[in-house]
Structure 1
Amino acid sequence: MSLLFTIFALVFVTQLIAWIGQSVLLELVYVVYLRLFHSATATKQQRLKSEILTLKAELLRTSAQDQFAKWAKLRRSVDKGLADLEKINGEISARKSSFSLQFNSAIWVLTTGLQFAVGWWYRREAVFYLPKGWFGPLGWWLAFPFAPAGSVSVGVWQMACKRVLKVGERVVKELAAPHAADAQGKQEKSSETEKPLKKD
């Protein structure tokens, strides 16, 4: 029975990642990775952004004709800050593309690769046995390719789990759709009632 639940857990995790979205997970994990391992760079980027915004605001308040020396100094500071920010952004972008490749590879290994490995390793094992005569002559298909006759193979069990989870996802979406539409309709009605009446 442990093989049955192990395979179901692997398929469930794979489908859960597909439901959430790999790009969403990448963004979340990358933010955590950046804060844990490269917090100095992230802090420097944020500090530079705020400094540039402050300098730009001061530059806009300074007259280029009346206070040219101050204006020129501020302009050079803004340009230098933008150059430094661009350099840091380039480093972070290069780091992110490298992290993205590693993250996507790890996700593939932990989901699809692990499913292949388990399917190959237990290819001759029966996940569970069926009572005799349940599927008649089609019983051999459930044991495909190498499991004992009268049993369900790892590959077939993986396909069945995936199909059930996809059907479950569709059912949940269909059940949630009317509730979401009702909530949106109520929100639109409340926003309409909140509009001020026109005065003649």
Structure 2
Amino acid sequence: MQSQTLFLVITGLTILSNLVSVVTKERVQGAVYAVFLKLFLTEKYNKLMKLKSEQLAVNKERNAISAQDNYAKWTKLNRKYDALADQIKKEEHALSGQKSSIDSYVSRALQLLTTLPINALKLWYARRSLFYTRPGTFPWVIDALIINIPFLARGSVGIYVWCFCVNRVFWILVDFVKLLTEPGPLPPSKEKVN
């Protein structure tokens, strides 16, 4: 792999990995599950929604009837409500089993797409320079000892240092955006406290 290609690939993978961290894995899993639900489990989901709406209607009707005046009708509705609750519980249990398996697949896929390639590239191209800096750009100590980790030629920047720099810049930008978008603290009140 050429240095320019390696540079672009490692930069893109590092940014992608950090974006997944910002968005959070749970949101990604929830979005994938929602798409999976709409595409493949529409019958089960529609059945669950139908049962819930039917349970809501039975509950509304049951609450409208006085248990003392129409005891027989109220008990019949109560039994129907309990039966619907059991069916809903079974359907939700089946869907939650699907959700947990989808969550584990998504978690593995995210790891395969982000973490694993970065670590593989770091191991495979550890002794390769991504780019070089001009002499005198940094002080001698930084130029000779820090930038060229793991022991590359002087003035060259390796994959470990570049990943570190991309990560730091990314998280600084995330913090800056959060600072701009989140509301600030309230000003202190001018009330006197005894």
TM-score per shorter chain, which class?
A: 0.7 to 0.9
Q: Secondary structure at the match of 1:127?
A: strand
5+ unaligned residues in a row in structure 1: which ranges?
A: 186-200
CA contact (8 A) 1:124 1:148 kept: no
Q: Which residue of 2 is the match for residue 45 of structure 1?
A: 48
Q: Which amino acid aligns with 1:170?
A: D
Q: CA deviation at 1:171?
A: 2.1
CA contact (8 A) 1:123 1:146 kept: no
Q: Which amino acid aligns with 2:17?
A: T
Which of 107, 121, 124 aligns to 1:121? It is 124
Q: Which residue of 1 is the match for residue 82 of structure 2?
A: 79
Q: 1:92 to 1:146 in 2, by over 3 A?
A: farther
CA contact (8 A) 1:10 1:111 kept: yes
Q: Secondary structure at the match of 1:45?
A: helix
Q: 1:65 to 1:138 in 2, by over 3 A?
A: closer
TM-score, length-scaled by structure 2: 0.83
CA contact (8 A) 1:12 1:162 kept: yes
Q: Which residue of 1 is the match for residue 190 of structure 2?
A: none
Report the number of matched residues. Answer: 182
**Alpha-carbon deviations, 1:121-170, whole Å to 9, x = none?**
22222111122343424334322225444311111110010011111122
5+ unaligned residues in a row in structure 2: which ranges?
A: 188-194
Q: Which residue of 1 is the match for residue 147 of structure 2?
A: 142
Distance 1:116 1:52 in 2: 52
Q: CA deviation at 1:9?
A: 1.1
TM-score, length-scaled by structure 1: 0.81
Distance 2:81 2:141 in 1: 78
Q: Secondary structure at the match of 1:143?
A: coil
Q: Which amino acid aligns with 2:121?
A: V
Q: Which residue of 2 is the match for residue 29 of structure 1?
A: 32
Distance 1:29 1:147 in 2: 42
Q: Which residue of 2 is the match for residue 159 of structure 1?
A: 164
Q: Which residue of 2 is the match for residue 170 of structure 1?
A: 175
RMSD: 2.3
**Alpha-carbon deviations, 1:67-117, whole Å to 9, x = none?**
333223222211110000001111122222222222122212211222101
Taking only the aligned residue pairs, the percentage that are identical comes to 31
Q: Which amino acid aligns with 1:9?
A: G
CA contact (8 A) 1:143 1:156 kept: yes
Higher helix share: 1
Q: Which amino acid aligns with 1:82?
A: A
Distance 2:151 2:94 in 1: 51
